Structure 1
């Protein structure tokens, strides 16, 4: 009698069926985990941009602004950009980058761009909402002075909320806050009361 090796057709079909059930159970959780990762990445990128604007303002001893900008493609900034309170793309510059977001960084040529990042670089597919300190009025810009403080306090971005792509799903949304003194922070508006992560 020969020694048999391998699987029978029944064992193979049973293994495939078990694997299919496991994948059906895991797929929704994986999708949600990926969306939450995109939210964290986008929030971190927005905070990085805000901190870069503040640092440049202090280093140059002049006003430098952080602008939220829309773009035609999430993968690249272009010169068709406009200010947008709902975009994860941003530009740090001395002057408004509207219609000049793809310009090269410069210390002499307006808009004197320092750095820009399209929304697709950090967390494409997220929903962003930037607000003034009243919590209802949309905002697109925050300007820091040579001391690192916010100078356009009346219309400045006070916080940027980053949420998942679907309004019908529940995600772990994050918020990037900007204090009048210029400090930025990523926090969780839904964290438990008393938690240091809570906004």
Structure 2
């Protein structure tokens, strides 16, 4: 070093203090990050369910025939895949009108691989008629409860922390209105995202 020049850089003590402060900040933020990840997975699953229901409804109107949105545990759903409540995959298919006609798979997708740890509670299938309204179909497993005709899918993370993590809900009304809402809130003018 030349005389009169001051050394530049960090001392070992300054570096250790910085690393210690960084470690403390990460330890404090880690639980928030974990909760954020769980909530993002729930939101993604709920969005996929809502989009799938809306796709089935739009296809029913476009094709002028009954279309089904279904959950299944089949890895690559087909038009003949069995519907299963709380399935890990989803599909949209047309329903047959006459004997001998084959159903057509419109689109399908995965839920389990994208959103690990998320639980879905709801029916195995929802059917829409040519007017975009819910319709019962015993063969497909689409049922309408006369006392509560709105179909509900509740989505929550399996390891959710009460009061920290949130669950979401997708509903499809008898008239065909599909929406996502927060079951922890009551629907009102100040809470339009409430259920």
Same-fold call, TM > 0.5? Answer: yes
Question: 2:140 maps to which residue?
Answer: none
Question: 2:42 maps to which residue?
Answer: 39
TM-score by length of 1: 0.78
The CA deviation at 1:122 is: 5.0
1:88-129 residue CA offsets vs partner (Å, 9 max, x unmatched)? 521000249xxxxxxxxxxxx833000001114653331111
Question: 2:125 maps to which residue?
Answer: 141
2:192 counterpart of 1:196: yes
Alpha-carbon distance in 1 for matches of 2:77, 2:187: 42
- The two structures, once aligned, show a CA RMSD in angstroms of 2.6
1:140-194 residue CA offsets vs partner (Å, 9 max, x unmatched)? 0111011111111436871101111315554211100010011101000102563
Which residues of 2 match residues 19-168 of structure 1 at below 5 A?
A: 19-72=22-75, 77=76, 82-95=82-95, 110-120=102-112, 123-130=115-122, 139-152=123-136, 153-154=143-144, 158-167=151-160
In the comparison of the two structures, how many residue pairs are matched? 176
Unmatched runs of 5 consecutive residues or more in structure 2: 137-142
Alpha-carbon distance in 2 for matches of 1:165, 1:10: 44
Unmatched runs of 5 consecutive residues or more in structure 1: 97-108, 131-138
Alpha-carbon distance in 1 for matches of 2:104, 2:171: 25
TM-score by length of 2: 0.79
**Highest CA radius of gyration, 1 or 2?**
2
- Pick closer, same or farther for the CA change 1:28–1:110 going to 2, 3 Å: farther
- Pick closer, same or farther for the CA change 1:185–1:122 going to 2, 3 Å: farther
1:48-97 residue CA offsets vs partner (Å, 9 max, x unmatched)? 1001101111111111000011245xxxx357x6432223521000249x
